[in-house]
């Protein structure tokens, strides 16, 4: 996996351009990686609905749950599907809209200085081993570009406690650490 500094895109990754992003503040580079989970409708995997949400195409009539989220303008930089497929929605040098009201080590507005990675899943369903492997490859690539990310990998729940719970208790941080160590990566969370 290679990062193109000019475009902010990862080469060899499926691109699904989202309109839901803006520029980072001047001089601010990614220093935090935030892991989320998403499934649409909740607890169901596969299908086009995550793409539709991030690209403002979600049909509120397609599922009762969508009526409450159909008008949201949200995104993440990346999504790792259950089978390990990696999709990119926002260039990494841009500010995706994934964190919402958030704070990390006294700094608010985590979207300004973070990269958001969604895992297709839910708080309570075990994640697929292929997702962990894809996440390790991604993290190692990103740390190669932005070394400040090393040791600054957190869950959405860590930056929005009480408001968010993802990636949830089903996410096994020890598996991420173990696979990363096997791959020669640095310490996580």
Catalytic residues: 118
Q: Note whether 115 and 92 are within 8 A (CB).
A: yes
Q: Which residues contact 178 (CB under 8 A, 6 or more apart)?
A: none
- Check: CB of residue 100 under 8 Å from CB of residue 110: no
d(CA 186, CA 188): 6
42: three-class secondary structure by DSSP: coil
Q: 150: which 2 tokens?
A: 């090393």
């Amino acid at each position: 996996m290679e990062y193109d500094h000019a475009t902010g895109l990862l080469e060899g990754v499926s691109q699904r351009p989202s309109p839901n992003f803006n520029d980072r503040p001047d001089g601010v580079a990614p220093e935090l990686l935030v892991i989320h989970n998403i499934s649409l409708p909740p607890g169901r995997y596969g299908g086009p609905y995550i793409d539709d949400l991030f690209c403002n195409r979600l049909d509120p009539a397609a599922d009762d749950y969508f009526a409450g989220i159909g008008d949201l303008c949200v995104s993440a930089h990346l999504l790792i599907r259950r089978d390990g497929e990696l999709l990119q929605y926002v260039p990494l040098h841009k500010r995706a809209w994934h964190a919402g009201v958030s704070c990390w080590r006294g700094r608010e507005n985590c979207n300004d200085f973070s990269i958001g990675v969604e895992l297709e899943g839910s708080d309570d369903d075990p994640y697929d081993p292929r997702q962990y492997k894809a996440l390790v490859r991604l993290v190692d690539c990103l740390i190669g570009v932005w070394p400040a990310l090393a040791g600054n990998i957190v869950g959405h729940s860590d930056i929005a406690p009480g408001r968010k719970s993802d990636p949830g208790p089903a996410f096994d941080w020890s598996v991420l650490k173990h696979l990363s160590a096997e791959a020669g990566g640095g310490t996580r969370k």
